[in-house]
Amino acid sequence: MSYSREAMVELLRKHGISPTHQRLEIAHVLFSRCEHLSADRILALTNERFAETSKATVYNTLNLFRDRGLIREVIVDPKRVFYDPNTQPHHHLYNVDTGEITDIAADALEISGMPALPPGMVTEGVDVIVRIRAL
Amino acid sequence: MSYSREAMVELLRKHGISPTHQRLEIAHVLFSRCEHLSADRILALTNERFAETSKATVYNTLNLFRDRGLIREVIVDPKRVFYDPNTQPHHHLYNVDTGEITDIAADALEISGMPALPPGMVTEGVDVIVRIRAL
DNA sequence: GGCTTGAGTTAGACAAAGTCCAATCTTTAG
DNA sequence: CTAAAGATTGGACTTTGTCTAACTCAAGCC
Ligand SMILES: [Mn+2]
Ligand SMILES: [Mn+2]
Ligand SMILES: [Zn+2]
Ligand SMILES: [Zn+2]
């Protein structure tokens, strides 16, 4: 999951995104780890060494990456959105005590009995969230 | 799903909640319809006839009802929490265009292949969200 | 090299959801 | 009825995220 600078530039270009310095920094933060990070944390990590990216740019970039299908949002905590560099279909284990989010492989879970959709509707995705806690 | 005033008082008492005027109004709003309402909308509906309940009380009461297991939260929209008067296990269909949330009966969906949990962990719940859209 | 142009970045104002607090009011036990 | 405990309130505050108008910067052209 770790990309060279050049590979990252290619990745962005392939998704129709101009590879600016800030976008590459943010992409690096996202793709160099397989975690589920909040915007806040991405901002902090991006500016860890040198403060060079603004909050507005982080939000702009995350929304751009999401719209272009580079990353996806994980909605489990009402307080903030998490960003997932893994856009393959998969599910999540959510530790409600610690806030930790872990992946569940898509093929691990079998879901059957999907209701028929109203005509003219399509399924955009199926998210399974397994909420767990200590004890 | 419609309760008389007396039945509502009993319901709250059974959950260890003093049945104040405001709480009964809010409970009425929640339990007289089988919908998934936001705090904002609950506030508006509660004060539809007479403005008599504050925003703080609506939030206090929703959190209290949730903690006591009278209602549950539905986390599908990063912008706001929805409150569900149905605490039985069940799942949700989420129309991403309109924001509409519909129930899927628990026994309609079959989920198999749950991952083994780390020792000392228990599953608090499994939420399936089927995101759908037009086209 | 200078100039133009358009895309990208930015600080800071703004908005919306939700929490907190100290003063006040209501409920309830006795 | 009374007093203590519990509930409610307006408004300040916090947090997450969006918006805007000014500014920066790289690319293409001369
Ligand atoms: Mn968003
Ligand atoms: Mn909440
Ligand atoms: Zn994931
Ligand atoms: Zn429901």
Residues with pLDDT less than 50, chain B: none
Residues of B in contact with A114 (CB under 8 A): 109, 130
- A35-66 as b/e: b if 16+ CB within 10 A: bbbbbeebbebbbeeeeebeeebbeebbebbb
- Hits for CB < 7 Å against strand D across B residues 87-116: none
What's the rounded mean pLDDT across residues A6-35?
A: 94
Residue B69 — left, alpha, or beta (φ > 0 → left; ψ -120 to 50 → alpha)? left
- Cβ <8 Å between B123 and A132: yes
The pLDDT of residue B51: 83
Ligand number nearest to the C-alpha of B58: 2
Read off the pLDDT of residues A67-121 as tens digits, 9 standing for 90 and up: 999 999 999 999 999 999 999 999 999 999 999 999 999 999 999 988 889 899 9
B38 token code pair = 């936001």
| CA atom of A2 to C1′ atom of D21, Å | 38
- Among partner residues A76, A126, A132, which is closest to B121 by beta-carbon distance? A132
Query: CB-based burial of residue B83 (10 Å sphere; 0-12 exposed, 13-18 middle, 19+ buried)?
Result: buried
Residues of B in contact with A129 (CB under 8 A): 126-127, 129
Residue A134 has pLDDT above 70, yes or no: yes
The pLDDT of residue B123: 95
Q: Give the integer Cα–Cα distance in Å for B104 and B108.
A: 7
Beta-carbon count within 10 A of B91 CB: 21
- Among partner residues A75, A131, A133, which is closest to B76 by beta-carbon distance? A75
Dihedral sign for Cα A84, A99, B71, B117, please: positive
Distance from the B79 Cα atom to the nearest Cα atom in chain A, whole angstroms: 8
Q: Give the integer Cα–Cα distance in Å for B90 and B109.
A: 9
CA of B59 to the centre of ligand 2 (A): 8
The pLDDT of residue A132: 96
CA of A133 to the centre of ligand 4 (A): 22
CB A96 within 8 Å of CB A131: yes
Distance from the A72 Cα atom to the nearest Cα atom in chain B, whole angstroms: 13
- Judge if pTM exceeds 0.85: yes
- More confident site: B23 or A1: B23
Ligand number nearest to the C-alpha of B35: 4
The pLDDT of residue B1: 62
Q: Is A52 within 7 A of strand C by CB distance?
A: yes
- More confident site: A2 or A122: A122
The pLDDT of residue A1: 60
